Amino acid sequence: MGIFDSILMNLTLLMTLTYLWTVLVKQGRLSQQSQQNQLLEILVACLTALMLMQYPVRMGDGLQFDLRMVPLVVLGLRYGPLHAVLAAVPVALYRLALGGMGAVPAVASLGAVLTLLSLGWLWAGLERKHILKLPFVPAGVFLGQLVGLSLLPNRLQLITEVFPVLYGLGVLMTHVSLSMLLSKQKQLKASEEVSLQSLTDPLTLLGNRRKLDQDAKAFHAGNFVLTLDVDHFKRINDAFGHHVGDEVLSTLGTVIRESLGSQHKAYRLGGEEFVVVLKNKKAKSAYLWTEELRLSFTERVALLHPHIERAVTVSAGLVNMQAGEGFTVALQRADALLYQAKQQGRNQTCLKLEDPLKQLGTQVFETQTEKWN
């Protein structure tokens, strides 16, 4: 196979295997790639380098060149030098096993490239930038190939005649491979954002009813189901306009998100009705969390809307899911308690728990704030 054919075979193999590599990209954000997928990417980069070595550009006297550096550099630019080293070790061992006068210089070039890659990440850390945002990266990384070429007898000829081609192809194909992988990430990120928007209430940034239906199967006995409803919300809309009403609902969403924590879930069902599912809490803790939330909301609205003379309050119904009870049934019980809180004067939490607070069955707790009459 001639020199041109060998180069063409390397380019074709590299493009094909990089396309297969994109199949492993499952998340729009690199930090969200699972460890299993990262290990698979290391394996693919290693196999790609080994495959490229099967079709080298042979220069005689045991010398051969190929684009094996490209997948290793691409992997290192994506995840860091450690990933690149893990993929490079089998490649280096295989090249040494092939032998020839170019074996040691080839491994030296690989080591130099990885060293420059590591320095690039160090520089990126000091500059607090992503490595791809730095000038001369990845172009500067491929300068490491000069180390191996300088160890060969005909170094001057190789550096002047071979290196420019090898360097140019390496930099070009690294950009092409990275572009293919980044394009897949952007597609996934856009799809994830669309999916997130379809499951998120745009006003409060909480989950919507569709998201609640999606999550409901994961809720189980011991979880607390809390329903919330803004008191006299229609009066707020009528007196101050729908834009103020929307701001009140947005404020409740903000207070819920700030209080929520990572393991709990919150949703806006529509209008002024909200649902919160609390996990790993005891009865008293769930009640106190609810009361703190209601008080925080009333205080926040008073701060943001001093022109609303009456306190804007929330009524709540709180239950804990029981063994054998589906989420829908628990939600119905919480709704019934919310209705009871409304009937009994609003601005209160009505709860019925399997392990009730203070050993009482149904209790009503009212926050002492001025209510709408």
Catalytic residues, by residue number, are 272
Whole-angstrom distance, CA of residue 269 vs CA of residue 262 = 20
Q: Please name which of 47, 63, 310, 306 lies closest in space to residue 166, comparing C-alpha atoms.
A: 63
CA separation for the pair 139, 189 (Å, rounded): 27
Q: Kindly report the backbone phi and psi dihedral angles of residue 158, in degrees, each rounded to the nearest multiple of 5, phi listed first.
A: -65, -40
Query: Using N-to-C axis directions, what is the helix angle for 242-260 and 283-304, rounded to 10°?
Result: 140
Q: CA 200 to CA 253: how far, in whole Å?
A: 12
Kindly report the number of other CB atoms within 10 A of residue 275's CB atom. Answer: 23
Count of alpha carbons within 13 angstroms of residue 354, beta-carbon side: 13
- What is the per-residue burial (b if ≥16 Cβ within 10 Å, else e) of 132-143? eeeeebbebbbe
Q: Where are any strands of DSSP class E within 26-164? A: 57-60, 63-65
